[in-house]
Amino acid sequence: MRHFFFIILFMLTTNMVGQNFILQEPDKQIHFAAGMVASAASYHWSYKKYNNKTRAQITGILTSISAGVLKELYDSRTGGTVERRDVLATMMGGAAVTVIIPLFQKKRK
């Protein structure tokens, strides 16, 4: 356990030179938030309808991926800049929400 703690501490204190974390860019932060909103809404809808956490998680992640891809498709049609990192940021937001929601969700009877 002590080794695990030191490994985590080392990983948190090292600086990745030349690497930019994707969520440092303001545009990617907006995509992350959009992925969170889309995923949370679809998770809630799916869980309310089917009462199945696994199905709701899958629905949430797929919705955030779809939202990211559709936004980039819209950008390509309207002359905007198409970036794969935007889809990644949207997907990261969706994944974060679908992992966090079940941790704080009460069990239904």
Q: Which residues contact 9 (CB under 8 A, 6 or more apart)?
A: none
| pLDDT per residue as tens digits for the range 5-19 | 666 656 555 555 445
pLDDT of residue 104: 84
Report pTM: 0.79
Chain centroid offset of residue 29 CA: 11
pLDDT-derived band at 20 (thresholds 50, 70, 90) equals low
Distance between CA atoms of residues 51 and 88, nearest Å? 28
pLDDT number for residue 43:
96
The domains of the chain are located at 28-104
**For the chain, what is the mean pLDDT?**
85
Name the DSSP class of 25: S
